[in-house]
Amino acid sequence: MSPDEIRRQLEFLRDMGIRDLYVSGQAAAPPPETFTPRRPEPTPTAAPPPPPVMQPSNLSLLPSIEPPDDSMEKIRQDIGDCKRCRLCEGRNKIVFGSGNEQSPVVFVGEGPGADEDVQGLPFVGRAGQLLTAMIENTAKKEGIPLQRPDVYICNVVKCRPPENRTPMPDEMEVCGQFLYRQLMAIRPKAICCLGSTASKALLGTKEGVMKLRGKWARWRDIPVMVTYHPSYLLRPYNQNAKREAWDDLKQLLHFVYD
Ligand code: URA
């Protein structure tokens, strides 16, 4: 196999959510519990939805470091000129996140790429342009007045991994604490995980996106919709997934904005 074919195969496996190419005999992590978030019934006698059950993830079981009076400003300050993991070595700019900090929906990607690293903003490269188009076009088609700046977008890791490799578990663990704080500070009505790194960080599962997408899960008490990462949708063999991603987004936006 040529190096190009090997790279394509590895990309394909990665897109499938397959990260480890060996089986150690360990049982796979169970898929996260899924649920259908309830909207209030139109009748005045409708029972309130049951309190959501906390969805523990490996990372969210770590001791909480969220200060009680947390804010996005404080999180930014605490990140500072971060040197907590090896990703600081190759980064140009820390990519904290962007958009409306009161947004009812937060999109979570994997980590900055080359364009994001230069600009210090998430999803500004090709994948970002697709994400913007997906959000704005789906909203428009569904009659929801929504532009990209109305939502909040951030990543699991805030510094670009070298060669755009997948963030390592220890990098996700360290930076994940800031992601959790961002999510708790915003407290959106729903979260959208873009791809398997985000779903792993928030749901604590190795289950691939194909299995997770289109169904509701939850992080703490917040409903989570998993969908494909826009980079995956840019690859020519994944055109069917585009339609599915549009469906996922439609479901998400109606839940949040109806
Ligand atoms: N991919 C991501 O996961 N995040 C970005 O910000 C850009 C590309």
Domain boundaries, the chain: 72-257
Residue 68: the pLDDT is 84
Write down the pTM of the prediction. Answer: 0.81
The preferred substitution site among 91, 106, 110, 157 for testing ligand 1, maximizing ligand atoms within 8 Å of CB, is 110
Residue 39 CA, ligand 1 centroid: distance in Å: 31
Which pLDDT value is given to residue 67?
A: 83
Ligand 1 probe mutation, 15, 132, 231, most atoms within 8 A of CB: 231
Q: Rounded to whole angstroms, how far apart are CA atoms 16 and 127?
A: 18
Residue 23: what pLDDT?
39
Does the beta carbon of 97 sit less than 6 angstroms from any atom of ligand 1? no
Asked if 32 and 205 touch (Cβ cutoff 8 Å), the reply is yes
Ligand 1 centroid to Cα of residue 26, in Å, is 31
**Which pLDDT value is given to residue 34?**
61
Ligand 1, residue 229: give the atom nearest the CA: 3
**Region label for 120, one of left (φ > 0), alpha (ψ between -120 and 50) or beta (otherwise):** left
Q: What six digits make up the tokens of 155?
A: 């990543």
Q: What is the 51 CA–ligand 1 centroid distance (Å)?
A: 33
The one-digit pLDDT tens for each residue of the chain (258 residues) are: 666 667 666 666 666 555 555 433 344 444 455 666 655 444 444 444 443 433 444 554 444 567 889 999 999 999 999 999 999 999 999 999 999 999 999 999 999 999 999 999 999 999 999 999 999 999 999 999 999 999 999 999 999 999 999 999 999 999 999 999 999 999 999 999 999 999 999 999 989 999 999 999 999 999 999 999 999 999 998 889 999 999 999 999 999 999
Residues 72-257, CATH architecture: 3-Layer(aba) Sandwich (3.40)
Ligand 1 center from residue 93 Cα (angstroms) = 14
